[in-house]
A and B are shown apart, each in its own frame.
Chain A
Amino acid sequence: KNQVEQSPQSLIILEGKNCTLQCNYTVSPFSNLRWYKQDTGRGPVSLTIMTFSENTKSNGRYTATLDADTKQSSLHITASQLSDSASYICVVSGGSQGNLIFGKGTKLSVKP
């Protein structure tokens, strides 16, 4: 079954610290993997999009990695800011129907 699992479910860190969010998937065949940031009650905002051949992609303080062999991705946030408080959603596209499979997200809280 095509699934996307994210961990941890929630995370609290202090402002200025780094953190890493995990995404494991079982989607096959794989097309691409996206990370989104979603503030409460608002639409998701695209952070990165990676295809099979890409190992790392950065967007400012956000760096995503992809290991297609182990079917794992991570999102690393450097020097966190209060505005990073949000849910981070991993989305994998692929499967026999060419669908989008969403993870349940990691809720990040950055405290001063």
Chain B
Amino acid sequence: DSGVTQTPKHLITATGQRVTLRCSPRSGDLSVYWYQQSLDQGLQFLIQYYNGEERAKGNILERFSAQQFPDLHSELNLSSLELGDSALYFCASSALAGGPVGTDTQYFGPGTRLTVL
């Protein structure tokens, strides 16, 4: 158990809909990262927040957005969903602000499996 929690575990929705994925980082960690893992594209880095502020951006679509709240939990909002958005979405946390080029260890949550029908 990494100490990172994600809810819900599974989500099934229809095309065109909007969903929110939630992540609570490990106690004391200030950075939250979001990743998408699909069968055809593998793992992709989406976005990082550090202590409430956006820190780094990866391959995040404009239909997707995220935020980190004062209690450090984070939410990833996916809108106008398409079939291709079906994937595992992982959240990871780390203690420092390092970001993609940093060397702090990232601890991954169990993921949310999103199915778009």
- B17 at interface, CB cutoff 8 A: no
- B108 at interface, CB cutoff 8 A: yes
CB distance from A41 to the nearest CB of B (A): 8
Chain A residues, CB < 8 A from B42: 89, 102-105
Quick one: which of B98-117 are within 8 Å of A by CB?
A: 99-103, 105-111
- B43 at interface, CB cutoff 8 A: yes
- A28 at interface, CB cutoff 8 A: no
Chain B residues, CB < 8 A from A104: 42
A45 touches B108 (CB 8 A): yes
- B81 at interface, CB cutoff 8 A: no
User: How many of A's residues come within 8 Å of B, CB to CB?
Assistant: 21
CB distance from A45 to the nearest CB of B (A): 7
1/0 per residue B53-72: CB within 8 Å of A? 00010110000000000000
- B90 at interface, CB cutoff 8 A: yes
B90 touches A94 (CB 8 A): no
1/0 per residue B25-68: CB within 8 Å of A? 00000000000000000111100000000001011000000000
B105 touches A31 (CB 8 A): no
B100 touches A49 (CB 8 A): no
Chain A residues, CB < 8 A from B58: 99-100
B101 touches A46 (CB 8 A): no
B90 touches A32 (CB 8 A): no
- B92 at interface, CB cutoff 8 A: yes
- Whole-angstrom distance between the alpha carbons of A100 and B42 in the complex? 12
1/0 per residue B1-19: CB within 8 Å of A? 0101000000000000000
B92 touches A93 (CB 8 A): no
- A99/B90 contact (C-beta < 8 A), A43-B111, A105-B42 known: no
Instruction: Tell me which of A45, A100, A103 contacts B45 (CB under 8 A).
Output: A100
A32 touches B43 (CB 8 A): no
- Whole-angstrom distance between the alpha carbons of A94 and B58 in the complex? 12
Give the residue name and chain of the A residue nearest to B40 (CB). Answer: A104
Give the residue name and chain of the B residue nearest to A89 (CB). Answer: B43
**Top 10 A-B residue pairs of the complex, sorted by shortest distance between their CB atoms:** A43-B108, A31-B101, A100-B45, A102-B43, A100-B100, A93-B100, A98-B101, A46-B105, A93-B101, A104-B42
